[in-house]
Chain A
């Protein structure tokens, strides 16, 4: 029987849809680990990037943090975190959060810098105070690139969370790592499909959120997709 047929059979086997090693539980673990990490990362990274971008300060640092993030292998981050903090979800979330921060800082910095100075000038002329100007004028205009950073981080976190199975974590990575260890190529490929689908769904889902957040007037403009920082960690 071909590998594809066996994979289809694996997916249709009800045993793989229940219990602690079933797809629903593994999905939940994968999504929870990733979501917590991206959320904590966003709470740290977005204020930094937005403030630096608004004032136009420390631009080199904001840009270079992504270069540094690219150079540190996500796998090493995960392994070191495990050696320092031991077993459990905490070391996984700590390393995934660290991974999530750089693209969000760089992208939100660029997003704020890209806001047309004339528009800021006009906002000031209309009597906006600084905070109101940031929240009601600059941020809405910065949404596409800020969301671009969140999407990049989220996809990389979902990808790297797969490797958490190497340090006894849950999630879809279990199927891949266990499949490799047991020479069970059916489980391996099934796990790979699930991970790939989850990454694509993350990207597409957040693209949908982005569309909802973009102000109506801005939707008519072409999105500056090429300005989104190139970042692949896993």
Chain B
């Protein structure tokens, strides 16, 4: 370290002056992070519900679907982003393809497990009451699978919030960008604040999902 000019300067973990003058940056980073999360989980859910239902019904699809998703899930996100860059560039699309993909695996698995757990008796009773297969799915099976699906949404959301920090490496704005800035500038404050906000966001998101789960499925305690 040849050129240390400020020998007596010790970088504090939080520089409150920097913090108070960068509130706007923190807010936009937090909102960008939230936006990336909501898009990924929402699209992920829209894909996993039909895929999970079909894979649960058609036994010959279940193995291949879960195996294929499992392989995809094993691929590190940074590697996936890097593989996509020549085609989709350093873009939000690149980030979201990866994030949606990982969310789909978590959610599809929980849709399948949730539907599997619907008791045979309940299905027989619904059939006896004259439910057609689609109505039975919508009004009987999915509501009973909802606690497990909700558990999946919570895991997918918290996972996504963590993974988004990595999208900073491919130039996406998020709390991860604060962490990366802190790292490259050797400046503690954005690094610490980005980390803390990301963890807080994950906990708040998990808590609000747990609460909405309680409202949506009051008959079942959190899975």
Contact = CB atoms under 8 A, between A and B. Distances in A.
Contacts of B74: 155, 199-200, 203
A71 B163 contact: no
Interface residues of A, number: 43
A80 B191 contact: yes
A4 B75 CA distance: 19
Given A76-B179, A200-B74, A71 B162 contact: yes
Contact of A73 (B83, B102, B198, B206): B198
Contact of A232 (B83, B102, B194): B102
Nearest to A162: B78
B142 to A, nearest CB: 19
A92 interface: no
Contact of B159 (A70, A82, A160): A70
B75 A196 contact: yes
Contacts of A158: 76
A230 interface: yes
B75 A226 contact: no
B182 A79 contact: yes
Contact of A188 (B82, B158, B186): B82
Contacts of B102: 232
A200 B78 contact: no
Interface string B78-110: 111111011000000000000000100010010
A96 to B, nearest CB: 13
B79 A162 contact: yes
Nearest to A173: B78
Interface of B: 71, 73-83, 85-86, 102, 106, 109, 113, 155, 158-159, 161-163, 165-166, 168-170, 176, 179-180, 182-183, 186, 188, 191-192, 194-195, 198-199, 202-203, 206
